[in-house]
Amino acid sequence: MLVKTSSDGIKDLLSRYGDSLLADTRPGFGGYFIKTEQLVPFCRSLRDEAGYDYLSSVTGVDNFPEDQMEVVYHFYKTIGGPAFVLKVQASRHETVIPSLTPLYPGVEFQECEAWDLLGIRFEGHPDLRRILMWEGFEGFPLRKDWREPFFEDENKPFKSRWPDGHVLRTEEENPYKNNVQYPAAFDPDQWIPAGDAALYEGLLSLTKEGQSDFKTDHIVVNLGPQHPSTHGVFRMVVALEGETVLSLKPVMGYLHRNHEKIGERNTFVQNMPFTDRLDYISSMSNNFGYALAVEKLMDVHPPERAEYIRVIMAELTRFLSHIFSIGFLLNDLGAFFTPALYAIEERELILDIFEAASGSRMMCNYFRFGGVVRDLPDGVLGKIKDLVIDRLPRKLDEFERYLTKNDIVRVRCEGVGVLKIEEAIGLSAAGPVLRASGVPYDVRKADPYSIYDRFDFDVAYGLHGDIYDRYLVRVEEMRQSLRILKQALRDIPGGAVMNGKPQYQVRVPAGEAYGRVEGPKGELGFYVISNGKPNPWRYHVRAPSFINLTSLSTMAKNQKIADVVALLGSIDIVLGEVDR
Amino acid sequence: MDEELNNPKYEIPPEIQHQVAITTVDKIYNWSRRNSLWPMMFGLACCAVEMIGAAASRYDFSRFGMEVMRASPRQADVMIVSGTVTKKMIPTIVRLYNQMGEPKYVVAMGVCASSGGPFKEGYSVVPGVDRFIPVDVYIPGCPPTPQALLYGLMALQEKIDQQSIQTVRWYKKGDSSPIPIPVLGPDLMDPRDFDLIKRRAQENLQMEEQVSPTNIEEADSHVG
Ligand code: SF4
C-alpha cells in the first residue's frame, strides 16, 4: 500500500507506543524491542501510518545460553530509505510469537523457516509446517545447543588435520555409519513417515474456498522434485480442476545444505566461498552482499578501484543471470533449448572474464572485506570493454528481435500470472518480480550502497505484473547494466584494490549489521551478528528466490497448469538460494 | 567401423574384405553402448549448471555420444549426480536409480556428490551418494569444469570398453533386486541398517538411564 507519510510519522508512533517499546542499546546494535502482545497492533500502525509497507526479512536469533529467543524484523518503505528494525523476544522453552501473516503475507515462508530451524512457533500462521527439513525430523538444527552428526568442535578453524604425521578424517572421529542420531529406544520398524498428509490437507482446504454448488473432483498433481521444468530439485503440488489450478503449494528443502549452521561455525572469511554457492548463477553479487554486511560491522571501506571493480563484476553478473533466465524461460515456454543455447554462449564469454579475475568460472570467491582479493590481470579491462561496447548490446538486440515481438511469446506471456501492485508489496516480492508489478523499487536507488549513487541509470519497471512484463523488465535491466558498465569502465581509477594487508582472521567488533544488495533475483540481504569472536554468532540470508516463491501460489491461482511452468521460469529461482 | 573394432583373427578372402567385418560380441556390444550414453536430465545443485554448460555449444558433449539428455529415467543410461545430495532428496534419487533400465551407470560429479564436499559437516547432507547407490566414476572439483566432466564421461567409456557380457551385473542370475529406498525418520534411515539403528537406540536408552542427574543436561544437549 502506498501511503503518503510525513517524516515524523514514525516519531508519533514511537511516542504512542512508548510503554511497550524499548530501544536496543547494546553497543553495535540498533532498533527497538517490542512487547509480544503489542507486536501486531504496532506493525499495523507501522504499515498504515508510518508507511513501512515492505517487510523485507524475518530472522530468528537464539541467544543461548540465556533463555531467550529473538525475532528480528527489517521493515522498509517502498519509496526508499533506511530500515526500521524491530525485535521481539520470547523464552526458548515456550517460544510463541504472534504471526505477522495477516499484515504482511510475505512472511509466510520465512516464519515457517524460523519454526523449522529454530522452533519458534508463530501463532495465527495459516500453515506452519516444516519447510526445509521434513515433517518428523528430530530437533531444531539452528539452535545453538543442537549438534549435528559430524560435530567436531564448536568453532573453526579446527585443530590440525595432520596431527602426528598422518591425516585425521572426520569419519574416523565419528565412525558410525552415515553418522546419524536417533532418539533413545527408537524403533525403526514402528516408524510411520509423516509423508505429505499435512501438505495435501492444507492444499485441499484452500480449494474449498468459494466453491460453487457444482461438485467436481479435484486432482492433486505433483511436479517435481525431479522434473525437467522445475529448475532443479523443487516441487510444486497443485490441486487441479480440469486444467485449471485451484491452489498450489511449493515444497522445498531438497537442496537444504545447512548454509547458516555451517556459516555460524566458520570464521568470517571462510563464509565468503559459501556465499558463492547460494545463488550459484551470480556468485559475484552474493559476495558483494556479504562483504557489505561485514564491512559495516568492521567499519572499513574499500579503495576506489576496488569499488569500481565490484560494480563491474556485479553488473556483469546481473547481465549473465538475466540472459540465462530468459533463455530458460523460453525453455519453459516450449522453445526447447535453442534460446538457452544462445544465452549460454554469452554466459561463457562473461565467465571467461570471471575466470581471469578470480581463477574460477562459477564460484568466484573474489570479494574480501575492504576490497577484492586481487587486481584484474592485464588485458581483462580491454576484454570487458569489447564485450560491453560491442558484443553484448548486439546480442541483446538479436535476442529482442527474436523474442520481444514474437507472437507466441506474447500470447503465452501477456496477462498470465498477474501479480497486482499491492499483492507484490505485501508478499515481499523483490527484484524484477516486484518491479514488473509497478513498484520502481531498486536497492541501488532506494538505499544506495557502494558507489551506485555516482552512476546514471534508470530503474526498469513494468505496469501489468505479468510474465511478459517480467521479461521486459529483465531486458531493460540488462541495458541499464550495460549503461552502468560503460560509465564504470570510463571512470575506473588505478591504485590498490585492498585496504591494508589481506588477513585470514579478521577482527570484527561486536554488533549487528544488515547488508543488502540488489542482486539479479532481488534484494539479497545478509544479517550478521558478531559477538567479537572469530565466528559470526548469527548469520542469516534474506534469499530473494525463497521469498519470491511466496507469491507463486497467488500468481498461479486460476491459471492453466501449463502456464505454471512458465510462471516459475518468470520468477527465476535458483535452488541453492531457495533452500540454502 | 573403426580399425580397432574390426580385428579379426581370421583370414578374410580378398574379394570380401571391406565388406565383411569380424569381431567379438563383447567388442561390438561395448562399442555401441559406449557411443550412445544418454545422460538423465537431472540437476541437483550448482554442478548442474556446469553440466548444462558442458551440453551447450562451446563444449558440446554430444560429440562423444552423450547425444540427448532424457528427463525420464527409463530412457537414460547414465545418471550424472550433479550436486549436493541431501537427506530429503536421497529417497528420490534411489528411486530414480531403481527405475533406470540396465545397463546403467552413475557418475558422481563434483565433491558434493562424491563425499559431501563443502557441506559435508551439515546435518541434512548425505556424505556422498555412494553411501546408497554404486558409483562408476568420481569427478573432483567444485564445480568440475565442463572439460573435467567430459573427461569423466570418457573415463566411463573406457570403463565400458573393459566390460564383458559374461561378467556384467545385469546378465547374472538373481542379482537384480532394487536398492531399498531410504526412509525419512527422525533422521535418515537406510532400511538395510534397521538392526544397527535399533541397537544404537537401545544403547542411548541405557546411557540415559545410567547418567547421574548432574550429567543429564549434558546428555540432553547432545541428543538435541
Ligand atoms: S561440488 Fe561445489 S559446485 Fe558442485 S554442487 Fe557441490 S558445492 Fe556446488
Tell me: cis bond preceding A502? Omega within 30 of 0 counts: no
Write the pLDDT tens digit of every residue in B97-133: 998 888 889 999 999 888 888 888 888 888 888 888 8
Own/partner pairs, A444-449, CB within 8 angstroms, 24+ separation: A444/A518, A445/A80, A446/A76, A446/A78, A446/A79, A446/A80, A446/A81, A447/A76, A447/A80, A447/A81, A447/A82, A447/A516, A449/A292, A449/A515, A449/A516, A449/A517
Q: According to the model, what pLDDT value does residue B220 have? A: 44
- Residues A206, A533: Cα–Cα separation, whole Å: 47
- Per-residue model confidence (pLDDT) at position A475: 92
Asked if the C-beta of B57 comes within 8 angstroms of chain A's C-beta atoms, the answer is yes
In the 8-state DSSP scheme, what is residue B22? -
Query: Is A144 in CB contact (< 8 Å) with chain B?
Result: no
According to the model, what pLDDT value does residue B106 have? 92
Q: Centre a 10 Å sphere on the Cβ of residue A80 and count the other Cβ atoms it contains.
A: 14
Query: Which cell numbers hold the place of A333?
Result: 515456454
**Averaged pLDDT, A145-161:** 75
Report the distance separating Cα A570 and Cα A545, nearest Å: 11
Q: What is the CA radius of gyration of chain B?
A: 23
Among candidate residues B51, B82, B50, B87, the one with its CA nearest the CA of residue B66: B51
**Å between A333 CA and nearest CA of chain B:** 17
Q: In sequence order, which residues have a C-beta less than 8 Å from that of residue B138 and are 6 or more positions away?
A: B107, B108, B114, B152
pLDDT at A1: 42
What's the CA angle centered on B81, arms B77 and B82, to 5 degrees? 125
Higher pLDDT, A384 or B66: A384
Residue B213 pLDDT = 47
By alpha-carbon position, which residue is closest to atom 2 of ligand 1?
Answer: B142
Assign A556 a pLDDT band (cuts: 50, 70, 90).
confident
Q: Is the CB of B45 under 6 A from ligand 1?
A: yes
Triad A334, A521, A295: Cα angle to 5°: 160
pLDDT tens for each residue of A346-382: 999 999 999 998 888 888 888 888 888 888 888 888 8
Structural Rg of chain A based on CA atoms: 24
Q: How confident is the model at residue A506 (pLDDT cuts 50, 70, 90)?
A: confident
**CB of residue B191 inside a 6 A radius of ligand 1:** no
> A113 C-alpha to center of ligand 1: Å?
23
Among A1-5, A87-91, A528-532, B49-53, the range scoring the smallest mean pLDDT is A1-5
Please tell me the distance from the alpha carbon of residue B63 to that of residue B55, in angstroms, as a whole number: 10
Least confident of A168-172, A348-352, A469-473, B59-63: A168-172
Q: Look at residue B1 in the predicted model and tell me its pLDDT.
A: 47
pLDDT of residue A224 exceeding 90: no
Q: What is the pLDDT of residue B216?
A: 43
CB contacts, 8 Å: B120 with chain A: 150, 170
For residue A135 the three cell numbers come to: 515433517
For A:226-245, CB contacts with B below 8 A are: 226-228, 232-233
In the block, cell 498461479 appears at A556
Mean pLDDT of chain A: 84
The interface pTM score, or ipTM, of the predicted complex is 0.84
Query: For the ranges A13-17, A236-240, A353-357, A475-479, which has the lowest average pLDDT?
Result: A13-17
**Proportion of chain B in helix, strand, coil states, percent, rounded to 5:** 45, 10, 45
| Structure confidence at residue B223 as a pLDDT band (50, 70, 90) | very low
Which ligand 1 atom sits nearest the alpha carbon of residue B119? 7
- Which residues, 6 or more positions from B134, have their beta carbon under 8 angstroms from its beta carbon? B106
Q: How confident is the model at residue A8 (pLDDT cuts 50, 70, 90)?
A: low
Please name the residue of chain A whose CA is at the shortest distance from the CA of residue B121.
Answer: A150
The closest residue, in CA terms, to atom 8 on ligand 1 is: B46
Task: Note the pLDDT of residue B221.
Answer: 43
Angle in degrees, 0-180, between the axes of helices A39-48 and A9-16, rounded to the nearest 10: 160
Give me A166's grid cell: 598422518
Nearest-5° Cα angle at A477, A475 to A483: 115
Per-residue pLDDT at B67? 75
pLDDT of the residue at A463: 87
Task: Determine contact, residues A288/A308, Cβ cutoff 8 Å.
Answer: no
Q: Count of alpha carbons within 13 Å of A543, Cβ hemisphere only?
A: 29
Q: A189 CB near a chain B CB, below 8 Å?
A: yes
Between CA A155 and CA A266 the distance in angstroms is 7
Q: What is the pLDDT of residues B65-105, one digit of tens each?
A: 887 888 888 888 899 998 889 888 888 899 889 988 888 89
Domains of chain A: 2-123 (3.30.460.80), 195-251 (no CATH), 259-579 (1.10.645.10)
Of all helices (H) and strands (E), which one includes residue A61? strand A54-62
Question: Rounded CA gap, B100 and B113, in Å?
Answer: 19
| A155-166 mean pLDDT | 76
Torsion angles phi and psi, residue B118, rounded to 5: -65, -20
Instruction: Give tens-digit pLDDT for A44-75.
Output: 888 888 888 888 889 988 888 888 888 999 98
Of A208-212, A322-326, A386-390, give the lowest mean pLDDT range: A208-212
CB crowding A268-304: b at 16 or more within 10 Å, else e: bbbbbbbbbbbbbbbbbbbbbbbbbbbbbbbeeebbb
Ligand 1 atom 5 nearest Cα: B83
Amino acid A178: pLDDT: 52
